Every structure is written in structure tokens, then in C-alpha cells.
Amino acid sequence: MMSKRWMMYGGTALLLLLSGCQKSSNDANTAANQGSAQGQQAAQAPTPPEPPKPFVLAAGTSIPVILSTTINSRVNKPGEEFEASVAAPILVDGEEAIPKGARARGTIVDAKKQGAFKGEANLAIRLSSLTVRGKEYPITTGLYAGTEKGKGKRTAVMTGGGAAVGALIGGLAGGGKGAAIGAAVGGGGGLAASGATGGKNVEFPAESRIAFKLSNEVTIER
């Protein structure tokens, strides 16, 4: 009687053990199948595209702008800022990096009214920033400069590099062949004639189109 009872207990325990082993095996198989399915889904998921690369404007790139206000050697002072807008789209590899009308800001580097420096009036400006798609980018450009001699001789020049304005004006004051009246010298075009008018002081009128050249590489986000 006792042995039958123990046999019954043993059989029940064996059934429970087998049932637990089968459940563990099923759970392991289920987990393995789920992991395999997830791995397949991950393998099949498309690779996200790389973000577009920013535009890189090389040093020497021409930045044509239109002045928003008049700048005059008698009225304005060194260190003052001026506003302008980009006159034409600027392309990089055939794509528009900077749209026409983008905001530009500049700085007056030199401004001397008539009689303040050996009877001459001097004016020199450069760009300091561009605002593209809502973001402002600091930049450095060459100078656009003009001088007005005491007897009404006028000269307007531009420099593509970062030549010191003192040396630039000094070269013009010598009156050599390089100081041709109304000549545009160096980098970038522009309206030299309108940039040199203004009586006995140098004046760059509002709406004048002036081209500056970048002194350093600039990266513009898309």
C-alpha cells in the first residue's frame, strides 16, 4: 500500500518535471523565434540617407551686393556698419548656396573727409556677415576703397585680398599710373564711377552695386 502511494507521488513528480522542461523549451524556442524575426526586420530596414553636405564657398569667391544706404567720407566714421543685399545668386557646383536678396552687413574701415589727410578724402569698406536662410555667417572680404584729391581728381579701387587700407591709399596718393581716375583695380568688378562721385568727399551712393571677394573659406548650411 505504501509503495503504491510512493509510486503515485513519483509519477506525479515526474509528470510535473517533464511539463516544466517542455514549457522551458517552448519559451526558449519562442524567444529565439522572436529574436530572429526582430533581426530580420532590422536587416530589412532601409538605411537612412546621409544628410546633405553644406555648401563651401572658397576664398576668392565674388560676393556682389547692392548698398541699402549712401556711405560718405564726410558723414560716416570708421567702425560704423552698413546694410546691403546680395545682388545675384551665388552658386556652388551649380546649386544656389546664397539666394539673391540675402542680407549682407559690412563695416566702414576707413573714412576721412576732405582736408583731414593731406587734402584728400578717403573711404574704404568691407563685408562682415551674410544672413542665409535665417542664419548669420561672419565673413571677411577684401576692401572696396576710394579717394578724392583736393583738386577734384577721383579714384576708386577695390582690393581682392586684405591689403591694408593705409598702404592702398598711400599708393594712390602718389599719383602714378596705377592711380588712374575712375579705374577699378583688383578683385571683383563694381561701379567705380558711381563709387567715386560726391563732390570733394568720397561717396558710395545707395543702390550702388559693389563686388567683394572672400578672404577665407565659408561654410553655408543648406
Q: How many CB atoms lie under 10 A from the CB of residue 3?
A: 7
CA dihedral 210→98→134→67, nearest 10 degrees, is: 10
Identify whether the C-beta of residue 63 lies closer than 8 Å to the C-beta of residue 130: yes
Percent of the chain clearing pLDDT 70 (strictly above): 56
For position 188, what pLDDT does the model report?
Answer: 38
Q: State the cell numbers at 207.
A: 543702390
Are 11 and 60 in a shared domain? no
**pLDDT tens digit string along 120-159?**
899 999 999 999 999 999 999 999 999 988 655 555 555 4
Burial 82-103 (b: 16+ CB within 10 A, else e): bebebbbebeeeeeebbeeebb
In which residue are the cell numbers 596718393 written?
173
Are 106 and 157 in a shared domain? yes
Are 92 and 197 in a shared domain? yes
Name beta bridge partners: 211: 64
**CATH number of the domain encompassing residue 208:** 2.40.128
Are 72 and 178 in a shared domain? yes
pTM of the model: 0.63
Are 29 and 125 in a shared domain? no
Please determine, for residue 211, whether its predicted confidence score (pLDDT) is greater than 70: yes
What residues make up the domain containing 20? 1-48
Are 94 and 160 in a shared domain? yes
Are 174 and 78 in a shared domain? yes
Total domains in the chain come to: 2
**pLDDT tens digit string along 17-76?**
545 545 555 555 555 556 555 555 555 667 888 888 999 999 999 999 999 999 999 999
